């Protein structure tokens, strides 16, 4: 399966240019010690420390683990981006849905789209504005658009940038 960087860091908003430059993290905290279901949340794609524009800061682009533990008793779980790309990475993300690990399944679905659907990552920030400007008429649930719609959004976004 093809990998299509760049991706946008959920912390700093800057591009993640390669798989090696990315990191996936989430918070883990559960009400019942033996129940893994619905215990994970705040799934996000961030820069690996070595590639972070904030590398000089204590947490770089990562969650502030000390703060989360002190305030909510949450711990941070994380894996390199390479664990989530390709066929095996897709299966890993699907297993998160299967075992109901995340309190918000939409977080996992969003990461699947960002990593595995061509054009999604580049177009996702423009969907609302493109729809408001009549670029396309959505015929599906929000953010579940087909390739033709995403290409139309990207073409529109490029035209907007050229006119600016």
pLDDT digits (tens, 9 = 90+) for 65-78: 999 999 988 999 99
Rounded to two decimals, the pTM is 0.90
CA distance 60 to 64: 9
pLDDT score of 36: 57
Q: Where are the domains of the chain?
A: 1-116, 118-164
pLDDT at 150: 96
Please name the residue that has the structure tokens 């420390």. Answer: 49
Over residues 119-158, the pLDDT tens digits come to: 999 999 999 999 999 999 999 999 999 999 999 999 999 9
pLDDT of res. 39? 83
Instruction: Give the pLDDT score at 34.
Output: 58
Token pair in block for residue 86: 């390709």
Provide the sign of the torsion angle of the four alpha carbons 107, 70, 46, 53, taken in this order.
positive
pLDDT tens per residue across span 92-111: 999 999 999 898 999 999 99
The pLDDT value given to residue 29: 85
pLDDT tens per residue, range 6-39: 999 999 999 999 999 999 999 988 655 555 556 8
- How much is the pLDDT for 72? 86
Output the six-digit token pair for 102.
């995340």
| Mean pLDDT computed over every residue of the chain | 92
| Per-residue pLDDT, 4 | 82
pLDDT of residue 59: 92
Q: So what's the pLDDT on residue 1?
A: 56
Instruction: Collapse the DSSP code of 15 into the 3-class scheme (helix H, G, I; strand E, B; otherwise coil) and give the result.
Output: strand
């Amino acid at each position: 399966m093809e990998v299509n960087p760049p991706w946008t860091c959920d912390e700093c908003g800057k591009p993640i240019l390669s798989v090696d430059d990315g990191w996936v993290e989430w918070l883990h905290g559960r009400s019942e010690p033996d129940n893994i279901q619905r215990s994970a949340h705040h799934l996000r794609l961030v820069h690996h420390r070595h590639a972070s524009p904030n590398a000089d800061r204590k947490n770089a682009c990562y969650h502030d683990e000390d703060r989360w533990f002190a305030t909510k008793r949450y711990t941070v779980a994380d894996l390199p981006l390479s664990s989530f790309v390709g066929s095996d990475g897709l299966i890993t993300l699907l297993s998160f849905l299967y075992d109901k690990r995340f309190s918000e399944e939409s977080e996992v679905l969003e990461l699947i789209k960002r990593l595995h659907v061509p054009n999604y990552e580049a177009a996702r920030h423009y969907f609302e504005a493109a729809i408001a400007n009549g670029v396309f008429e959505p015929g599906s649930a929000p953010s579940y658009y087909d390739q033709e719609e995403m290409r139309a959004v990207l073409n529109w976004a490029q035209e907007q940038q050229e006119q600016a």
